[in-house]
Amino acid sequence: MFQWMVLALIPMLLVTGCGDLEPEMQDTRTVILDMDYNQKSSSRSSSSVSASDLIPYNTHLILALPSWEYLTSNYNNFYSSFGQGLRNTADKKVSLEIPLNTQMKIFAFLFRENYSESDLFSAIREVGYYGESQIFSIDTQTNNLSLDVTLIQVASTGTTDTTPPTASVIAATITTSGNAVVQSTEIGTAYLVKTTVSVSDVITNNTVPPDSQWNSVPISSENINTNLPAAGLEIGTYKVYAEDTAGNVSSPSSNSVTVATNDTTAPTASVTPDNITSSGNAHVQSTETGTAYLVNTAVTVSNLGNITGAADNQTNSVIISLANTDTMLSATGLLMGTYKVYTEDAAGNLSGPSSDNVTIAGLVDIDRNAYSTVVIGTQNWMAENLKVTKYRNGDNITNITTNADWNSNTSGAYGVYDNDETTYLNTYGRLYNWYAVDNSTGVLCPEGWHVPTTDEYDDLATYLGGVSVAGGKMKETGDTYWQSESSGTTNSSGFTSRGSGRRGYSNGNYASIEDYTYYWSSNFTGSTGYYHFLTYNGATLGGSGSSANKNYGFSVRCLED
């Protein structure tokens, strides 16, 4: 049936052990099979299988069967079994309970994939090697017994795979307590091999390098990061090789991993201060390769577990493959708020927080100002006043600080109350003339947003219960930003309006701070533009149908398209 066979003689040491019963009262004994494939038999020929040939075979099924059973590659085709088990990959041993004074043989079946016993017997799995020992039996006096299992390689079926996989590794410096992060384009096994080892010699002459110069890990998913431990390895430079299930071996990885002495020095994390949305990225760096974490400042961090145990919407991470180089860390899925960056190096040392912050906001303008947003009914509003100094296309809006120049201007312009940005800008935003609102080329609001129409303000008032109560539901409570709090003020909508005042159209003077706030709409008639307003001593959203000279300086709220 088989077109070709390669034989291997595997010395096997059988060690018996007694239980609590007297020997003459026992019908079975527990035996430990020590299956050492690294031993060499004097009867091996040049066509024998070497130990390195068997490295890719991760599962070894061992059966104790009656001596009359006939060996085939079908491990599921036996009438009865005295005992069965899987060889322990760590110590190369398997423990079986077998009967005394009974003629039997040991059958072995080797598989490339990692299987449990239930996996093997729930479906037919592909066998790579199979074999049997000579007939033997044990009694109460047997303490050890040496057996040879002759292995037969199963001829492959179907189309032969001769294409090697591609191996890759994230360049890093790690210690023996760390891991190399490896990938293969095919399932199989990845090997971390010191660059002083001649891998071609290993393949050609079946030589096995010292254990201190290589480690391996099964690759169960292709193109997925897998940790390959560096435990027990010598200091030095290592490449990764991958072997697929057909035995094809890749070329060495283009990147290397350096195994170094134990590192106890934490890296330093940094981030470019910025305001971004959840669709943006933070620009982060670390002084060492490893992993960077973007963490909400609401999370208390004293160790890595605090970060990895935080809610998914409070932290994201990215691999740092190059030290001291900008890496993009996605803000996808994160809550609005302030974030710090922490980095962990390959040795597991965690940095302190970055000195700078990143703010994740609902909206960010062209100047990188961040704004909170609020959904009211079916509308998504800015929850604070506009502060931008440029149109969407990057053109500057004129900043007029001389009051006498304000009235004569007929192009887009802005000011800050009393020309005092330090005191008023962050709290109340900028005051724009209507010409800035009307700029059809540059557009005032960020991409995807616009200055609302009067109808959209009316829709807001209707949703909040009508103009007579809508203002109270839009105003921030308390007397910090208003002269006093009027009856009906709740800010239940989250609109959070503050008394930002106005700039006069005729003389450019500022007035009404903490008394009134005025919002331009995009509608106009002749030389006037339409607006809405709120006052400190009432709950009304005023101004529906009212218009004012286009040279007034009013606040602006943007509405999502």
Of 198, 233, 259, the residue that ends a domain is: 259
Is residue 339 within 8 A of residue 359, CB to CB? The reply is: yes
Alpha carbons 228 and 188: distance in angstroms, whole number: 13
Same domain for 128 and 195, yes or no, is: no
Alpha carbons 178 and 348: distance in angstroms, whole number: 7
Candidates 554, 551, 555; CA nearest to 508 is 551
Read off the pLDDT of each residue in 27-52 and give the average, rounded to a whole number.
Answer: 59
Q: Report pLDDT for 163.
A: 85
Q: Which of 50-54, 219-223, 366-370 has the lowest mean pLDDT?
A: 50-54
Same domain for 433 and 552, yes or no, is: yes
Q: Report pLDDT for 91.
A: 81
Same domain for 341 and 375, yes or no, is: no
Which H helix or E strand runs over 521? strand 516-525
Could you tell me if residue 264 is inside a domain? no
Pairing of strands 269-271, 516-525: unpaired
Same domain for 378 and 491, yes or no, is: yes
Is residue 33 within 8 A of residue 106, CB to CB? The reply is: yes
Read off the pLDDT of each residue in 481-491 and give the average, rounded to a whole number.
Answer: 96
- Please spell the DSSP secondary structure of 451-510, one letter per residue: PPPHHHHHHHHHHTT-HHHHHHHHBPPSSSSSSSPPTT---TTS--B--EEEE-TTT--E
Categorize the per-residue pLDDT at 30 as very low, low, confident or very high, splitting at 50, 70 and 90.
confident
Q: Report pLDDT for 205.
A: 60
User: The tokens of 37 are what?
Assistant: 């494939």
Q: Report pLDDT for 60.
A: 93
Residue 41 has pLDDT above 70, yes or no: no
Alpha carbons 323 and 510: distance in angstroms, whole number: 51
> When comparing pLDDT for 301 and 43, which is higher?
301
Same domain for 522 and 443, yes or no, is: yes
Question: How much is the pTM?
Answer: 0.52
Q: Report pLDDT for 112.
A: 87
Burial of 559 (0-12, 13-18, 19+ CB in 10 A): buried
Alpha carbons 317 and 314: distance in angstroms, whole number: 11
Domain with 503 in it: 370-560
> When comparing pLDDT for 392 and 34, which is higher?
392
Categorize the per-residue pLDDT at 160 as very low, low, confident or very high, splitting at 50, 70 and 90.
low
Q: Which of 47-56, 310-319, 410-419, 431-440 has the lowest mean pLDDT?
A: 47-56
Residue 88 φ then ψ, to 5°? -70, 125
Candidates 387, 375, 365, 371; CA nearest to 556 is 387
Categorize the per-residue pLDDT at 37 as very low, low, confident or very high, splitting at 50, 70 and 90.
low
Tell me the pLDDT tens digit for each residue of 236-288. Answer: 899 999 998 888 899 999 999 999 877 788 999 999 999 999 999 999 999 99
Alpha carbons 525 and 174: distance in angstroms, whole number: 70
Categorize the per-residue pLDDT at 495 as very low, low, confident or very high, splitting at 50, 70 and 90.
very high
User: The tokens of 132 are what?
Assistant: 């049997």
Same domain for 347 and 380, yes or no, is: no
> When comparing pLDDT for 241 and 97, which is higher?
241
Of 153, 181, 199, the residue that ends a domain is: 153
Could you tell me if residue 307 is inside a domain? yes
Burial of 20 (0-12, 13-18, 19+ CB in 10 A): exposed
Could you tell me if residue 158 is inside a domain? no
Same domain for 181 and 121, yes or no, is: no
Residue 33 has pLDDT above 90, yes or no: no
Categorize the per-residue pLDDT at 17 as very low, low, confident or very high, splitting at 50, 70 and 90.
very low
Same domain for 460 and 483, yes or no, is: yes
Same domain for 112 and 46, yes or no, is: yes
Residue 40 has pLDDT above 70, yes or no: no
Same domain for 246 and 296, yes or no, is: no
Residue 443 has pLDDT above 60, yes or no: yes
Q: Report pLDDT for 24.
A: 39
Alpha carbons 453 and 320: distance in angstroms, whole number: 47
Angle at 266 between CA 263 and CA 270, to 5 degrees: 140
Tell me the pLDDT tens digit for each residue of 502-545. Answer: 999 999 999 999 999 999 999 999 999 999 999 999 999 998 88
Alpha carbons 276 and 67: distance in angstroms, whole number: 73
Of 335, 360, 385, the residue that ends a domain is: 360
> When comparing pLDDT for 135 and 9, which is higher?
135
Could you tell me if residue 227 is inside a domain? yes
Tell me the pLDDT tens digit for each residue of 186-215. Answer: 888 999 999 999 887 666 565 678 889 999
Residue 7 has pLDDT above 50, yes or no: no
Coil, helix or strand for 308?
A: helix
The chain-wide mean pLDDT, for the chain, equals: 87
Read off the pLDDT of each residue in 300-315 and give the average, rounded to a whole number.
Answer: 95
Same domain for 331 and 389, yes or no, is: no
Same domain for 206 and 352, yes or no, is: no
Q: Determine the straight-line distance between the first and last CA of the chain, rounded to whole angstroms.
A: 72
Read off the pLDDT of each residue in 473-487 and give the average, rounded to a whole number.
Answer: 96
Could you tell me if residue 159 is inside a domain? no
Q: Which of 12-21, 68-77, 188-197, 290-299 has the lowest mean pLDDT?
A: 12-21
Q: Kindly report the CATH number assigned to the domain that includes residue 220.
A: 2.60.40
> When comparing pLDDT for 168 and 97, which is higher?
168
Length of the chain measured in residues: 561
Could you tell me if residue 445 is inside a domain? yes
Tell me the longest C-alpha to C-alpha distance in the chain: 117
Q: Report pLDDT for 49.
A: 67
Structural domain total, the chain? 4
Read off the pLDDT of each residue in 549-558 and give the average, rounded to a whole number.
Answer: 97
